Amino acid sequence: MHPWSIARRLFVGQLMFILIATLLVTWAVFVHNRDTVFNLEQDRMLHTGRLMEGESEVIRGYSSANPTEILQPYSLRIMESANLAFATFMDTDGKRLTYWDPSWIGTQYPGNIEPALRGEEFTEVSSTGRAGLAARAVIPIQINGEIVGVLTVGSRVSELDILAQSQIPAVLIGAGVLLVFSSLASYLLARYLKRVTFGMGPEQMSTSFNFLDTALHNVTEGIVLLSQHGRVRLYNDKAAELLNWPIIRTSEPAIDAPQLAQPQPNGTSGAMGMLINDTELPEALKALMIEGRDAEDERYFANGRILVVNQHRIDPSSRAVVRGALSGTVITLHDATDVQALSGELENTRSLTDALRSQTHEHANRLHTVLSLLELGQSDQAKNVVSEAVGAGDQREGAAGVAPVMEAVLTGKAAQARERGIDLDFSIELTRRTNLGSHILITILGNLVDNAMDAIDTGVAEQDSAEDAERWIEVDVYDSPAQNGRWLTIMVADSGPGIPQPIIERIFERGFSTKDHGETGRGHGLWLVNSTAKRLGGTVTVAQDSGTVFTVEIPIPDSRITGLEVASQEGTNRG
């Protein structure tokens, strides 16, 4: 069976209250009127009996030998004139001397007359004999101070008459009018409650709340609800982790709309009630939240994380939105830091694979050359070719350790550049080992060369004619002595159009790019180069010449540093 909604329960409860209240009021009015009627009738009977007691006919009848002969006509006459149900004269033994039904004369009165025999008057409401329920007065008859008999006079009191005099119909009409108006009010209230509770009963609402609250605080994405005025209304545990906000304790009551006007103290409701402007978030992310526009998979850097942000406004015209409820925006946050790091590692691996493939191709060419020389009988020249190839490799391996990797990377990039119509020349001159992991140098060289090729393509697209445009990249890698040891210098120059002065300060920001944001991974290459160099104690500078020149200077460490160690340092800094 479908549980009753709150509106139906309130209506039924109100209806039951009105019915019970009507019954109680009706009963109270009936009892009050009954008691009033009884009291009035008893007083009337008492005064009537006192008048009858002193009548001469009564004295004469009790003084005669046959009291019934005189008292019976008198009692019948008084009953008719005073509108009495009965007026019965009795002797001191309780035997009836008169009665409205003559056949009962001489019978014993069943009621109590002892107080009257002691000379006391009293009234009562009782049912005795055939008279039924009546208000009666019992009065002693005295002659010369002696009690010679008892008189009881009474008036029948019908409960139907009492009911008619109690204005019960008026009470019922009033209750009916109240019921009509309360039903109308209940109907309007039921429509409102059905709209705001979606027709659910308390049990359903409690179950839904527990389910949604559990889901909200256990999803792997951050969720933030903002009011239309930019105040934080609600957020889950994941959002608290990503935005570095205090976690909301589940035992705390929810904050209603009036309370949102005042910021809540830290430690009680976290950041709820705070203005977004008062939070320590990046300005770009604050601007998005305050603006309240719809956003789809936009990337922002906050608290050392890359956040994918989606923002949608609550549609006031939606049937699911209660009229008069606070509007605002719903923001979802996804941590893409690990995905971005994996994407970078994948790109580096792809570059290294391409470089190794190119290097394999070069070795194959050399072997074909040696084979050709041997077939031609030119063994000395073949020996020189092999000696040059092996000697160069040994020299670089012994001197720099990672020089073959850099040469392979640059060879692969040169092949890519040729496919794009770009001449790439490189020079590697190292006098000793760099003690830097291959991943570090691949990250720096790969991203700088990729950025240079993209810059050249962008410059060509902006020129009217691409045929006369110079398209070249020069890469120089060398080490040099300094006061605090030796430094590795990587210089990448290109023939691109250069970097506009207004944005030159922003090129190292994470996520910033002058290229199409729809492409995956944009806006992270130069940031990776800069962050890697800084973690190693180096610098990255940019200069404008015939194109753009990036210069990376890194101190050569005494011991070897691998890519894993750099990643560990980065994780420590973030933590």
At a CB cut-off of 8 Å and minimum separation 6, what does 43 contact? 123
Closest CA to 193 of 5, 13, 2, 319: 5
- Check: CB of residue 141 under 8 Å from CB of residue 147: yes
Closest CA to 385 of 395, 398, 372: 372
Tell me the domains of the chain and their CATH numbers.
6-164 (3.30.450.20), 220-335 (3.30.450.20), 340-574 (3.30.565.10)
Outline where DSSP puts E strands in 64-130.
86-90, 122-127
At 457, the amino acid letter reads D
Which mean pLDDT values do the consecutive 10-residue runs of the chain (575 residues) have?
67 82 82 82 90 89 91 92 90 92 89 91 79 84 91 81 66 81 80 72 69 71 84 84 77 43 45 78 86 86 84 67 63 80 71 63 59 71 65 40 71 85 91 78 85 82 58 92 86 88 80 59 74 89 87 82 44 36
Would you call 313 helix, strand, or coil by DSSP? Answer: strand
Q: How far is CA 421 from CA 10, 111, 417, in A?
A: 79, 133, 6
3-state secondary structure 421-481: CCEEEEEEECCCCCCECHHHHHHHHHHHHHHHHHHHHHHHHHCCCCCCCCCEEEEEEEEEE
pTM to 2 decimal places? 0.37
Return the structure tokens found at 119: 């000379």
Q: Which uninterrupted H or E stretch holds 553?
A: strand 548-555
Would you call 533 helix, strand, or coil by DSSP? Answer: helix
At 448, the amino acid letter reads L
At a CB cut-off of 8 Å and minimum separation 6, what does 423 contact? 417, 471, 472, 473
Closest CA to 311 of 323, 327, 298, 300: 298
Q: Which uninterrupted H or E stretch holds 540?
A: strand 539-544
Q: What is the pLDDT of residue 258?
A: 42
Q: What is the pLDDT of residue 416?
A: 85
